[in-house]
Amino acid sequence: MITPMEIRNQQFSRAMRGFKEEEVKNFLYHIAQNYESLYSENARLKENIQQLEYELAKYRKLEETMNNSLLLAQQAAEEYKNNARKEAEFILENAKQKIAEMLFIYQEIIKRLNIFGAEMKAQITSELELLEKNQRKIDEMSEFFYSKDVKDIMEKLDKLTLKKEEAND
């Protein structure tokens, strides 16, 4: 690529019927100035493009990092969700098992209470029958001891004792 300096320093060979030297120099000077400004602008634009490409690369890298972070966050959320689900299932199963154990224990207690109640009922019934037998014997004995015959005997005994006392007097 030709530089503005090369345009300014360009020398042409002289010919007889050539161009006016001053016009050619002025024209070359204007071309050199325009070329210099285009050259500077081109350099500035290239530098600007490099800067923008650097920033674009930085943003692409940032975007990639953010996408990776987002994927990691989604994976972590899924993992937390799965772990929470597993823990909830474990807690639920454990609670079901404890409830089943408690129900079994209560059923056993009720069975034992029924057995105890039946045994108590049998024992009380047996004791009641024994009481009734004793009451019948007491009634029989009461009939005997409160009967007229026993009263007669008691009266005779009382008299007998009195007669003895009268004999000793």
**Cα(67)–Cα(45) distance, integer angstroms:** 31
Q: Which of 68, 71, 89 is nearest to 79 (CA)?
A: 71
Return the domain boundaries, the chain. 4-168
- Contact between 23 and 2 under an 8 Å Cβ cutoff? The reply is no
pLDDT in the model for residue 168: 61
pLDDT in the model for residue 169: 57
pLDDT in the model for residue 165: 55
pLDDT in the model for residue 114: 95
Q: For the segment 46-80, what is each residue's pLDDT rounded down to a tens digit?
A: 999 999 999 999 999 999 999 999 999 999 999 99
pLDDT in the model for residue 112: 95
Phi and psi angles of residue 44, each rounded to the nearest 5 degrees, phi first: -65, -45
pLDDT tens track, the chain, 169 positions = 677 777 777 777 777 777 777 878 888 888 888 888 888 899 999 999 999 999 999 999 999 999 999 999 999 999 999 999 999 999 999 999 999 999 999 999 999 999 999 999 999 999 999 999 999 999 988 888 888 888 888 888 777 754 455 556 5
pLDDT in the model for residue 167: 57
CA distances from 88 to 78, 83, 93, 94, 110 (A): 15, 8, 8, 10, 32
Tokens of residue 97, six digits: 């098992």
147 DSSP 8-state letter: S
Count the alpha carbons within 13 Å of 102 in the hemisphere toward its beta carbon: 6
**Cα(169)–Cα(148) distance, integer angstroms:** 31
**Cα(74)–Cα(68) distance, integer angstroms:** 10
3-class DSSP assignment, residue 81: helix
pLDDT in the model for residue 82: 96
